[in-house]
């Protein structure tokens, strides 16, 4: 069986969707004999490390922007495959191949002001058509499935929920905490939020909450915002200008997987203050590392944590500051870490990849 994937999430630095796709491909390559093809709008290296077998990368000779590729040549490019998996919420136009559309979130529709113009145009112009065309729509959380039913009722024929997952790389372990603190927080204990710095991630709320926390307790940990800059202009700088001790906030930029794991293991607390998420992979990774976690009560984050995090309303710096202060108490930290250890096994790939095998086998009409 030949399965074609939109491999654009694998281009550039790995963020949430790219991490998920690499994990799915790795487990399918290990567990099945299927031919897995990676399709791109232009020739490029995808950087799959330590894979059990090489996966072919197919692209047109003439490089194209992603949206133009989807509406022109992508459907012809994947002809002959048994299934096409649309990993970014949009399918090629006039696609004749049976397809799975993966919907990670609906923020280009629900929060268009939180996306670049190009992202809004590509998603919003073609999402209804893609939903109607897909044989199966896979949502990464029940929260995303609920938003789909609310915002775009009746467009999808068959909706399934298959969550994202975390590999064993993110797990509890000994970390040289002093070295991590020296590298990322000028030698001081720290709270960390991991993820692209963009408005919907609640970064400005977290910066203001950290300012309030330090005003209440000057000995509280520093704040590390680990992630590459997304869109949104200078909103981080504006929030830092309101922080009374901006030198206590550190922005190291994009971090590697190894650095991310070290941060999650060494942090006093891990925070995800997002206003909206489709899943919240950094929260799942933090729980799998045994971290004490604080998150907004956004529906997807409550679903991922399943009682293993302390939740607060989004966009409320005062409530977040109070939650951070509470979570820093030793007995609360210990309780949150114990809850994380209980939740972690449910977030692993061995609970997820068999669902993909069954779905793809069903769609292709072959035994799993």
pLDDT in tens, the chain (368 residues): 999 999 999 998 888 999 999 999 999 999 999 999 999 999 999 989 888 899 999 999 889 998 889 989 999 999 999 999 999 999 999 999 999 999 998 877 766 665 565 666 677 678 999 999 999 999 999 999 999 999 999 999 999 999 999 999 999 999 999 999 999 999 999 999 999 898 889 999 999 999 999 999 999 999 999 998 876 668 899 999 999 999 999 999 999 999 999 999 999 999 999 999 999 999 999 999 999 999 999 999 999 999 999 999 999 999 999 999 999 999 999 999 999 999 999 999 999 999 999 999 999 885 54
Instruction: Say if residue 188 is in the same domain as residue 313.
Output: yes
Residue 304 counted as domain residue: yes
What total number of domains does the chain contain? 2
The CA-to-CA distance between both ends of the chain, in Å, stands at 11
Inter-axis angle of helices 330-343 and 281-288, nearest 10: 100
Instruction: Say if residue 207 is in the same domain as residue 224.
Output: yes
Residue 238 counted as domain residue: yes
Instruction: Say if residue 331 is in the same domain as residue 355.
Output: no
Instruction: Say if residue 314 is in the same domain as residue 358.
Output: no
Q: Which neighbouring-strand residues pair with 293?
A: 270
Find where tokens 């609310």 sit.
Answer: 150
Instruction: Say if residue 198 is in the same domain as residue 292.
Output: yes
Instruction: Say if residue 215 is in the same domain as residue 149.
Output: no
Instruction: Say if residue 44 is in the same domain as residue 94.
Output: yes
pTM of the model: 0.94
Q: Which residues contact 101 (CB under 8 A, 6 or more apart)?
A: 86, 89, 90, 91, 130, 131, 133, 134, 136, 137, 138, 156
Q: Which domain holds residue 19?
A: 2-165+349-364
Instruction: Say if residue 340 is in the same domain as residue 356.
Output: no
Give the domain CATH number at 293: 3.40.50.2000
Instruction: Say if residue 148 is in the same domain as residue 274.
Output: no
Burial grade of 153 (CB within 10 A; 0-12, 13-18, 19 or more): exposed
Inter-axis angle of helices 235-242 and 203-216, nearest 10: 10
How far, in Å, CA of 218 to CA of 276, rounded? 31
């Amino acid at each position: 069986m030949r399965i074609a994937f939109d491999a654009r999430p694998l281009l550039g630095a790995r963020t949430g969707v790219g991490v998920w796709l690499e994990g799915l491909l790795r487990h399918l390559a290990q567990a099945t004999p299927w031919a897995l093809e990676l399709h791109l709008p232009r020739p490029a290296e995808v950087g799959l490390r330590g894979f059990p077998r090489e996966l072919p990368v197919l692209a047109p000779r003439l490089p194209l922007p992603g949206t133009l590729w989807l509406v022109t040549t992508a459907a012809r490019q994947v002809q002959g495959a048994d299934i096409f998996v649309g990993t970014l919420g949009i399918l090629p136009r006039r696609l004749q191949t049976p397809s799975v559309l993966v919907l990670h979130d609906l923020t280009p529709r629900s929060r268009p002001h939180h996306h670049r113009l190009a992202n809004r145009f590509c998603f919003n112009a073609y999402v209804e058509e893609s939903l109607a065309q897909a044989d199966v729509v896979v949502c990464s959380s029940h929260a995303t499935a609920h938003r789909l039913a609310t915002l775009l009722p009746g467009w999808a024929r068959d909706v399934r929920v298959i969550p994202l997952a975390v590999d064993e790389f993110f797990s509890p372990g000994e970390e040289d905490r002093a070295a991590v603190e020296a590298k990322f927080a000028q030698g001081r204990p720290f709270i960390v939020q991991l993820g692209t710095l963009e408005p919907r991630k609640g970064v400005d709320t977290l910066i203001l909450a950290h300012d309030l926390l330090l005003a209440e307790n000057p000995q509280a940990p520093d704040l590390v915002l680990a992630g590459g800059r997304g869109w949104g202009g200078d909103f981080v700088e504006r929030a830092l200008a309101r922080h009374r001790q901006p030198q206590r906030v550190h922005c190291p930029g994009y971090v590697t997987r190894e650095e991310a794991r070290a941060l999650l293991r060494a942090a006093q607390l891990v925070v995800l203050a997002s206003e909206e998420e489709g899943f919240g992979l950094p929260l799942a990774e933090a729980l799998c590392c045994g971290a004490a976690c604080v998150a907004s009560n956004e529906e997807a984050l409550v679903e991922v944590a399943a009682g293993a995090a302390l939740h607060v309303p989004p966009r409320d710096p005062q409530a977040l500051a109070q939650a951070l202060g509470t979570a820093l108490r030793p007995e609360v930290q210990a309780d949150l870490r114990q809850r994380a250890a209980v939740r972690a096994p449910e977030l692993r790939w061995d609970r997820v990849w068999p669902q993909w095998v069954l779905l793809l086998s069903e769609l292709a009409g072959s035994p799993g």
